[in-house]
Amino acid sequence: MKRPLKWTVVVLVVVAVLALVALVAVPFAVDTPRMQTLIASGASQALGRPVKFASISAAVFPWPAVELYALEIGEDPHFGTAPFVKLDTGRLTLRVRPLLWGRIEFGALTLTRPAITLIRNPDGQLNIASLGPGADPRVAARAGRGGAAGAGGGGAGAATLASSVRIEKGTVTYVTRGGARALTRYRAEDVDLTLTAGGATLRFEGGARLQPGDLAVRIAEGRLATNGARSLAEAPLSALVTVEGRDVAALVALGAGAGTSVSGAVSATLTVGGTLGAPTAAGTLELASPRITETVRACPEPKGRTLALGTLRLADASWQDGRLRSRALTTSVGTGTISTGLTVTLDHGARVALDDLALKALPLETVLVDFLCLGYAVAGPLDLTGALAFDPADLANTLSGAGQLRIGRGRVVGRQALALIGGVVRVGGAVSSMLSADVPASLFTSPVEFDSITGTYQIANGVVKTRDLLYASRVMRVAVAGEYRLASGRMNLDMVVNHGRGEVTAKVTGTAASPSIRVAPTTKTLETGLRELLKRFR
């Protein structure tokens, strides 16, 4: 055997023997009580939270490691007493080379099926805000008084304990609170995440499934800059996140309730920034072929009605400080289009604002008749510009905004609208029979055609006001001014009906379901009527 080859074989044999000796010696080299104290105190100091576990054991294969059983990381006492992290088993690997020299250095930490709880209180604070050695010294001090599982005062930082952390099949529950009651609860399942320490930067990547909704979330190029941050929550954050889901119905139902559902496949590509405690996000989001299904009591059977939309796209969408914004939300209904700027504020309940709202050729029959079954429905293409704002939980009492509208050639099809106009004409004819009106009230017992409906509107807390609504048809022109309350249906309207042979001025009060009509002929109408009456006596 050649000398170089011989020495190579000898070196390999020696290394293998040393490695084998080190592996065999692991259970003896690892002083279990000392190791337990070292790990617990170091982790407690690094996290600013009490860390405890029931027991540990040394393992040799496939790599030298310390296994931790019944591991718990304590919660910030301001958020409760339940553990922040809880799992049955954790595995902390040992570096082989230091073992050859009798030293213990940790490698990767693997947490299998951990249960992690993130809590946001009514003030917007997260329970992770107190993580870190400088966040709350009292927490670390309590950890130091926790007995064997939490003993030791000067343990090393997190990077000393483990060079990387691997979460496998974890569960993260996110809870937002109002007072002492949990308002909203989301859950990320099958969380697979790898965190790697590199100097002052913590890198991470992985994925999870968000519930409800079964949304697949992937995280890439994640970085958390811990250098200089007073706590983990204040560390600058960056990542690329993609979201894919076959149906958002379950996710929307969590906030919309049982009466309304929204279904459709969702996809999003987001750039995440900000800090861990106050993250921001920007990108695009699409909801493919969304369908809104609602139980409408005003409809005949079936009362469950569905409105199909075209692809809903949020361009230049961003999330920051509890606000979702999109410069341009676009979708469609049939051949009509909808575009608007969107702002959703979630500080104290949801608040939706639609700016630069523009509806083009929206088919009203699809919305007002087939979907909402409104008694004052009209059919025709709607063009509308303006702005709206509302609370989704109480739209009828919170809707506000202003704008202008035009409905092109169409038909009045709602029973209540037909009855109201017919009632004005009928009562007007009875009060002023001298008009010789040629507009039969029977005309309004079935859908009637019109040329256009135009006007402006102002809405404040569910009260709709107009000064210049104008209904124009071949038979008549109706001018409307007044107000209408969405929640109660109460009306206070002044109507002027011009049917060619004269005018009828009507005051409409009461409710949409039971209107009260008072008609008075105008001075001009009386003069015309008297003139016609005198002609008959000649």
Say yes or no to pLDDT of 432 above 60: no
Q: pLDDT digits over 469-484, tens only?
A: 999 988 788 899 999 9
- What pLDDT sits at residue 103? 64
**Of 371, 372, 366, 290, which Cα lies nearest the Cα of 331?**
290
Q: What integer best gives the mean pLDDT of the chain?
A: 79
Q: How confident is the model at residue 317 (pLDDT cuts 50, 70, 90)?
A: very high
Say yes or no to pLDDT of 439 above 70: no
Say yes or no to pLDDT of 26 above 60: no
Are 68 and 89 in contact by the 8 Å Cβ rule? The answer is yes
Start-to-end CA span in the chain (Å): 145
Q: What is the 3-state secondary structure (H, E, C) of 262-280?
A: EEEEEEEEEEEEEECCCEE
Backbone angles phi, psi at 29, to 5 degrees: -75, -30
Q: How confident is the model at residue 125 (pLDDT cuts 50, 70, 90)?
A: confident
- What pLDDT sits at residue 134? 53
- What pLDDT sits at residue 141? 37
Amino acid present at 86: K
Q: What letters, b where the CB count within 10 A reaches 16 and e where it falls short, cover 179-205? A: eeeeeeebbbeebebbbbbeeeebebb
Q: Residue 212: is the preceding peptide bond cis (ω within 30°)?
A: yes
Q: What is the mean pLDDT of residues 230-239?
A: 82
Q: What is the mean pLDDT of residues 167-182?
A: 77
**Of 456, 506, 517, 512, which Cα lies nearest the Cα of 476?**
506
- pTM for the model stands at 0.74
Q: pLDDT digits over 89-100, tens only?
A: 888 887 766 655
Of 197-211, 319-333, 426-440, 513-527, the poorest mean pLDDT is in 426-440
Q: Residue 392: is the preceding peptide bond cis (ω within 30°)?
A: no
Are 113 and 40 in contact by the 8 Å Cβ rule? The answer is no
As a whole number of angstroms, the distance between CA 363 and CA 154 comes to 71
**Of 506, 490, 367, 299, which Cα lies nearest the Cα of 423?**
506
3 state SS of 105: coil
- What pLDDT sits at residue 199? 75
Backbone angles phi, psi at 208, to 5 degrees: -165, 170
473 to 63, 155, 361, 505, 528: CA distances (angstroms): 86, 85, 19, 18, 23
Helices then strands (H, E): number in the chain? Answer: 10, 29
Q: How confident is the model at residue 62 (pLDDT cuts 50, 70, 90)?
A: low
The β-bridge relationship of strands 215-225 and 237-245 is: antiparallel
For 88-95, which contacts have Cβ atoms below 8 Å and span 24 or more sequence positions? 88/112, 88/113, 90/53, 91/59, 91/65, 91/66, 91/67, 92/39, 92/65, 92/66, 92/67, 92/68, 92/161, 92/162, 93/63, 93/64, 93/65, 94/26, 94/30, 94/63, 94/64, 94/65, 94/66
- What pLDDT sits at residue 387? 97
Are 409 and 471 in contact by the 8 Å Cβ rule? The answer is no
Structural domain boundaries of the chain? 22-198, 209-365, 411-536
